[in-house]
A = this chain, B = another copy of it.
Amino acid sequence: MDLYSDKDKFYVAVDCIIFGFDNEKLKLLVFNRKIDPFKGSLSLIGSFVKIGESVSDASIRILKEFTGLENVYTKELRTYSSVDRDPGYRCISVAHYALIRVNETIKKLVEEKGAKWYDIDNIPELILDHNEMTNAALKRIEEIARYKPIGFELLPKKFTIPKLQTLYEAIYRRKLDPRNFRKKILSFNIIIKLEEKDRTSSKKGAFLYKFDNTKYKKLQESGYDFEI
């Protein structure tokens, strides 16, 4: 613990609140720390910002290191900067939330790194102010989901309408009516029906759709809004 102290200068860190969706529940990626400081405790995935990179570059680097993914949907949440938030450094952290498409490759990769997915309504105690960050991020994505189609970031490229609904139910934490939900989603004209069906969760099978980014951008330009 020798090096863990420097209170005369600012350190800048990025912490990432990484959300995934396993077709049923929203999940948070949590890291089990193997070295000091906070060895054995749980934390968000983070890193110091290097002097030669921007804060958003740092967040991209962290996401890449941990998930192997580039081009992840990542947004700045806010800074955390209480003088005594970290007992070792005078460190301000710029929290970012990220939404990723979980698949088997990523599942393995994050396990190897010592990270684990936790159900959002069963989040363990995390170090420092990381629980506070997580709660703020959850609140934020609930707000954002009302007017940006972030749901698509969490689903596979091809998804069914019932799965999309389950996801929004997880974000809003309430049940939605399947008829009204489908009607509303289709009215935006930003998803394209495919020929294929997904039969993993019913005998009848549900048609797969994909997100139409071009059309969404047009919708946004002409006055947007995406209230579900």
The chain A residues found within 8 Å of chain B, CB to CB, are 7-12, 49, 51-56, 76, 78-79, 81-83, 90, 92, 94
- Bound CA–CA A185/B207 (angstroms): 44
Protomer copies:
2
The answer to whether B83 touches A55, judged by C-beta atoms less than 8 angstroms apart, is no
Residue of A49, A55, A76, A81 with most partner-chain B CB within 10 A: A81
The answer to whether B76 touches A55, judged by C-beta atoms less than 8 angstroms apart, is no
Contacts of A56 in B (CB 8 A): 81
The answer to whether B94 touches A51, judged by C-beta atoms less than 8 angstroms apart, is no
- Bound CA–CA A54/B94 (angstroms): 13
Say whether, besides A76-B78, A78-B76, A53 and B83 are in contact (CB < 8 Å): yes
Contact of A90 among B51, B79, B90 (CB under 8 A): B51
- Bound CA–CA A92/B13 (angstroms): 12
Chain B: minimal CB distance from A14 (Å)? 10
- Bound CA–CA A83/B82 (angstroms): 24
Chain B: minimal CB distance from A43 (Å)? 21
Contacts of A90 in B (CB 8 A): 51
Contact of A9 among B10, B52, B94 (CB under 8 A): B10
The answer to whether B82 touches A79, judged by C-beta atoms less than 8 angstroms apart, is no
